[in-house]
Structure 1
């Protein structure tokens, strides 16, 4: 079982700690991705013997004992191809296999697409948006590979980790597996997909609901929470309360003036959302030291779990499992009611997260409010109000921004991320706001085309306000590749 695999990072903790604190590499992810070339016990012994000697060079020692296997992806460019042709070539350049475990990299049964840049492994929610483009490109085999890899991880780990490395075995990412099945069904029209992966759907659901049986005595257990009214919701959560290996020194430095005893777990839990990081999670709306992800139940997560419950009900019906069909249908109906009760803010007429300790909506206005429209949960009046808010507060010349606050965090203003351009377009189309949908599509696609024309690159994120520049913010530079940008761009251009 993958879960029993000891993390080699733990085995080289003293060396790892020294390397990260000394900032041997500009990007701390480099050391987490390194593959030991010799038995770890030998490397540790050699390090203890050598580190005190005169003239010892830590970086030289690391480079002599670890292989970095092309940690950063280099994109090959032939002149300036038309953007669609460039993306078609990128699918092959971003394809990887991992048929055996190497260092922290988990093995997977099928080839997969990586995001690009520093991200040289399989990522969970990225893969859904990559699949959108694979569908347009007619690469059904790779779509099936992604679904199969997710199923393999759910069956062997119990969930799809944030990414396919051992240090991500404490958290997942937004649960998109049921939506992946919908996309594959839309492509193949083969209903057997739902019955084939029924057990996988159930196992992923069990992961997100793990601990609900203990909620009578506690208000929060892992990813399940109970409100003061006794209603059940879900939140993002990470099992570990320690610095993230891939951002080790950053977390240690940020924790120095942090509030509370669970700073690291709050940081990691925000990573499970995919939004690392945003004012959405900050108690003061400004500073990462006030991060309180654990106190928040999220509209996006609960909407996705409603979709998972609906998919389980549909799959149960296809298998003639009447009792389970009724069970999941009832669960979805209750969750739909809870989404309306706890995430719809009457004052602003917008969906917001729910603060579990303050018993009210959080003040953050953010683009995850699109989920109830994307999945068809909102009524027509709610949809109209959300559309008005989106048009007035989130839509700029270069696409939809994620929040209305500028903090320097990468999931805040002014950045526009590919997933939310697709969610925004589809959400507006679902409720007949075709003109707004087209504006979202055109604003972002033109921004992508402008940057590509100027740089030859497809980026991880874009600046929606200043379309003369490239987006910034966050813990690392803007990355080139880029899986979900490629996928969403192709899908939007097709629509």
Structure 2
């Protein structure tokens, strides 16, 4: 449960919020919830109730009179005639934000240290994006910025009880793929200081507790609580979830309209949409009963292989640090949890016949026939056996390796986390997966294809994109609820990290 005193926009502005979000004032629903009020919300709402009854009331004028629109980032001067790699070292300054000042009734959760945002409409820090951004910051030698971002995430854990999707009040009900322990491990590595692992032990443990909340009360197979599912006596696995079952504030109109296209209870649709956002894969056929229909979203019924691999990594790191600080009882419990989790993933998510890892459906009690790049996570983390890795790599090389890199799935659903799109974080996961299990030739081929695509699109557009079309290199990526964004934090980070590895 969130410990935050921050109130999201839909609860601050009530009917005003609905009126704006259901209007056409802003093409992007995220714009209004990122606006900064010019005076206390209570005063704005009181005036709205008074003026809305008047015949000449203009909602758009009222909004512009009472709110400041999200500011555009200030341009920076970048020297000319640089390679893309050289240019991206400067680009961090464009995406860097200084410590926030608290503004009453703003949706922004103020962070005490500098940080990097993805870019475009994403004006705040994002949780899982930041790990892949840090990979590039490492190459750029910006260790202090990595440290300040880790400190910001620790601050969020200590103030709101977990790391939200991003530092916005409307994101408080959900998190994102849990990379915090991996960030701490990365910071310790680049700093050459193992004591850093001890420094953040409390916060890593707190975040882990957020993900496994309620596990002790779930004694019978089939029972679930929030993000935890008991499948059998030993297998406690995790799913994505959201504390709320309402339309997302930042996609309010889109969610309302989608809910009107289905006979399901709207609350079920809303929670499943939100849970898909927690996955970071919003949206993908992975989460859909009918891969072509977003209104069939069923995220909370699915045990994702990637989430459970990430939690096994958190457990591994907690075991390591627990040994350093002499927490023997905790180490023993965590070793058993990690062993059971890996065995559970193998039991429920490994398809021996096809030789791939798949997500598992809680209600249907079967693996979900939606092969995706999530199958590479056990190889990235090193939890796959050599037999499993060989099978997975063979399958991915045959079905997922495209001219521009790895495609996310092979389903053309119109959703952005499906074909024909490739995403930077999954290229890195794939690169490391191939590298870890002896296919360094394939890792280098992937790195070459992806970085070349980044360079070609940059030459055409002058931008680094959020996602790329890896199937047809002459076309831009598409799908999703908003236009393709440029910036772009994790693309820059993975590009720099891959270019660095290609030199070895």
Q: TM-score, normalised by structure 1?
A: 0.97
Q: Distance in 2 between matches of 1:313 and 1:4?
A: 33
| Pairwise CA distance, 1:320 | 1.3
Which of these residues, 274, 288, 293, is aligned with residue 287 of structure 1?
293
| Pairwise CA distance, 1:71 | 5.4
Q: Distance in 1 between matches of 2:325 and 2:81?
A: 51
Report the counterpart of residue 188 of structure 1 in structure 2: 191
Q: Distance in 2 between matches of 1:332 and 1:245?
A: 36
Distance 1:15-1:98 versus aligned 2 partners, 3 A rule? farther
Q: Distance in 2 between matches of 1:281 and 1:86?
A: 37
Which of these residues, 147, 150, 162, is aligned with residue 147 of structure 1?
150
Asked whether the 8 Å contact 2:174–2:275 carries over to 1, the reply is yes
Corresponding position: 1:446 with 2:452 = yes
Asked whether the 8 Å contact 1:228–1:359 carries over to 2, the reply is no
| Pairwise CA distance, 1:57 | 2.1
Corresponding position: 1:254 with 2:255 = no
Report the counterpart of residue 374 of structure 1 in structure 2: 380
Report the counterpart of residue 415 of structure 1 in structure 2: 421
Report the counterpart of residue 410 of structure 2 in structure 1: 404
> Any idea what SS the aligned residue of 1:3 has?
coil
- Map 1:182-331; keep pairs closer than 5 Å: 182-216=185-219, 219-227=223-231, 231-261=235-265, 262-331=268-337
Q: Distance in 2 between matches of 1:47 and 1:75?
A: 39
- Map 1:326-405; keep pairs closer than 5 Å: 326-405=332-411
Q: Distance in 1 between matches of 2:156 and 2:14?
A: 26
| Pairwise CA distance, 1:77 | 6.3
Report the counterpart of residue 45 of structure 1 in structure 2: 46
- Quote the RMSD (CA, aligned, Å): 1.6
Report the counterpart of residue 8 of structure 2 in structure 1: 7
Q: Distance in 2 between matches of 1:75 and 1:245?
A: 32
> More deviation in 227-236 or 110-119?
227-236
| Pairwise CA distance, 1:201 | 1.0
Report the counterpart of residue 476 of structure 2 in structure 1: 470
Q: Distance in 1 between matches of 2:246 and 2:72?
A: 24
Q: Distance in 2 between matches of 1:81 and 1:9?
A: 46
Q: TM-score, normalised by structure 2?
A: 0.95
Asked whether the 8 Å contact 2:9–2:170 carries over to 1, the reply is no
Q: Distance in 2 between matches of 1:460 and 1:485?
A: 6
Report the counterpart of residue 112 of structure 2 in structure 1: 109
Distance 1:116-1:437 versus aligned 2 partners, 3 A rule? same
Q: Distance in 2 between matches of 1:321 and 1:480?
A: 45
- Map 1:51-200; keep pairs closer than 5 Å: 51-70=52-71, 81-102=82-103, 103-200=106-203
> Any idea what SS the aligned residue of 1:237 has?
coil
Asked whether the 8 Å contact 1:73–1:118 carries over to 2, the reply is no
> Any idea what SS the aligned residue of 2:422 has?
strand
- Once the two structures are superposed, residues 259-305 of structure 1 have per-residue CA deviations (whole angstroms, 9 ceiling, x without a partner) of 53311000000100000000100012221111100110110010010
Q: Distance in 1 between matches of 2:184 and 2:243?
A: 27
Corresponding position: 1:20 with 2:21 = yes
| Pairwise CA distance, 1:46 | 1.6
| Pairwise CA distance, 1:229 | 5.9
Q: Distance in 1 between matches of 2:249 and 2:320?
A: 40
- Once the two structures are superposed, residues 400-450 of structure 1 have per-residue CA deviations (whole angstroms, 9 ceiling, x without a partner) of 111110011000000000001100001000000111111111111110000
Q: Distance in 2 between matches of 1:206 and 1:373?
A: 25
Structure 2 residue runs of 5 or longer lacking an equivalent are none
Q: Distance in 1 between matches of 2:74 and 2:285?
A: 30
| Pairwise CA distance, 1:214 | 2.1
Corresponding residue pairs, total: 495
